[in-house]
Amino acid sequence: MFKCIIFDMDGTLVDSEPLCNQAFLDLLPELPLTQQDLVDRFRGKELNTTLAAMEALIGRKLPEDFTESYRAQVKRNFEKSLQAFPHVNETLEALNVKRCIASSAPQSKIEIALGLTGLAHHFGQNIFSAYDIQKWKPDPALFLHAAQHMGVTPDECLVVEDSDVGIQAAQAAGMAVLHHRPHGPAFEDVPSFSNYQDFAELAQATYKARAAA
């Protein structure tokens, strides 16, 4: 089996993408997109890139304190209704290999989400944020950073991701990757699952296929 499993967080462990994008609509009701449009367009993207796109969509500059306002609104949305995906807790409990989180979110957001959903104890200090190294997916740097700190090589890692930029980053890092797709279509040539009850079997099959290649 793989020696380390690297999980993304938003959209992978916790069903946060709709809540994060609802925060944009809460603060910018003039946005000409639906919540699902926003999820589809900005899933996994660096926040600064997303904010620049928001400004183009509404035709004006955002306030200087918008990022702070956005983070606060996301926190309120999380406190109201954030949940882990079904069977995530049981899946993590059953793992007998190293595991960590490598997320584009800041550490504070990761900690809030894990605390609210009761998943924090599964990861301890093994949480890596793009903000720590100022490198965002699809750059592979975050996954390589996580692997180094976990004491494993890229070929010993399995990444679990929900976004195209995350999958691209894992592939660029030379790591195996699974696509978690609870709400959307699969990516071509990437093993995918929509229910964590299928995770263990798919991870094992992916390891065997990689070993045989």
Q: Is the per-residue pLDDT at 183 higher than 80?
A: no
Q: Is the per-residue pLDDT at 185 higher than 80?
A: no
Question: What is the three-state SS of 147-179?
Answer: HHHHCCCHHHEEEEECCHHHHHHHHHCCCEEEE
pLDDT for the residue 190 = 95
Task: Assign 208 a pLDDT band (cuts: 50, 70, 90).
Answer: very high
Residue 99 to residues 49, 92, 194, Cα–Cα distance (Å)? 29, 9, 20
- What is the number of residues in the chain? 213
Classify residue 182 as exposed, middle or buried by CB count within 10 Å of its CB (0-12, 13-18, 19+).
middle
Q: Which residue has the tokens 């550490």?
A: 107
- For residues 25 and 31, the answer to whether their CB atoms sit within 8 Å is yes
162 token code pair: 């929900």
Task: Say how far residue 141 (Cα) sits from the centre of its chain.
Answer: 15
Structural element, H or E, at residue 4: strand 4-7
* pTM, full prediction: 0.95
User: Measured on CA atoms in the order 94, 99, 103, 108, is the torsion positive or negative?
Assistant: positive
Task: Say how far residue 142 (Cα) sits from the centre of its chain.
Answer: 12
**Cα 32 from Cα 184, distance rounded (Å):** 21
The model's pLDDT over 60-103, given as tens digits with 9 standing for 90+, comes to: 999 999 999 999 999 999 999 999 999 999 999 999 999 999 99
Q: Is the per-residue pLDDT at 186 higher than 80?
A: no
The model's pLDDT over 19-75, given as tens digits with 9 standing for 90+, comes to: 999 999 999 999 999 999 999 999 999 999 999 999 999 999 999 999 999 999 999
The model's pLDDT over 105-135, given as tens digits with 9 standing for 90+, comes to: 999 999 999 999 999 999 999 999 999 999 9
Residue 192 to residues 76, 102, 211, Cα–Cα distance (Å)? 31, 19, 18
Name residues whose C-beta falls within 8 Å of residue 134's C-beta, 6 or more positions apart in sequence.
none
**Cα 157 from Cα 147, distance rounded (Å):** 7
pLDDT for the residue 187 = 81
- For residues 127 and 142, the answer to whether their CB atoms sit within 8 Å is no
